[in-house]
Amino acid sequence: MKHTFAIVLAAVAAAAVFAGLVHAVLVAGHVSEPAASTVYGLTTRRLWATSAALMALLGVAVGGLALTRRVSRFGTASVRHAAILGLVLGLIAAVNGLLNVAIANGGPGTGNGVVGGAAAFVLGLIGVAISGLALARSGRTAFRAGRMT
C-alpha cells in the first residue's frame, strides 16, 4: 500500500512539475494569455505541435529504455544506438517546439499550437537529458570493457 501511494505521489509531482515548466515556457514566449475567441479543430500548427510532442515522447521513451539497458529485447540495436536515437529525437522535437512557440502570434486557444509546442520543448529537453545520460553510461562501460568503439 505504501509503495503504490509513493508511486502515485511521484506521478502527481512529476505532472505538476511538467505543467509548471510548460507554463514557464509559455510565459517566456509571451504567449500565455488565452485567446479572446477560441479556434476549435485541428489546424496546421496544432498538427505540427502535436507531432513534435509525440516525437519528444518517443525520444523520452527510447532514452529511458537505453538508460535501463532494455533495448536488446526489441532487436539487435545496442544501447548506444538507442541513446543516440533518443538524443536526436529529443533535439528535433525541442527545436520544433521552440520554433512553434517563437512564431506564434497568440496564446492558448488561437489554433497556433503553443501548448503542444511548449510541451514538445520541455519533453524534448527531458529526452535529450535522459538519452545523454544513457550515452555517457554506455561510453563508460565500453571504455571499461576495453572496447573503444
Is 109 within a domain? yes
User: CA angle, corner 57, sides to 51 and 59, nearest 5?
Assistant: 105
Residue type, 95: V
Number of domains composing the chain: 1
**Residues 17-71 pLDDT 10s:** 888 888 888 888 888 787 777 888 888 889 999 999 999 999 999 999 888 876 5
Is 44 within a domain? yes
pLDDT at 71: 59
**138 is in which domain, residue-wise?**
2-144
Is 57 within a domain? yes
In Å, how far are 3, 36, 54, 63, 116 from 107, measured between CA atoms? 40, 9, 21, 31, 11
* Distance in angstroms (rounded) separating the CA atoms of residues 86 and 88: 5
Cell of 74: 526489441
Is 42 within a domain? yes
- pTM, two decimals, is 0.82
Is 149 within a domain? no
**Quick one: 38 exposed, middle or buried, by C-beta within 10 A (0-12, 13-18, 19+)?**
exposed
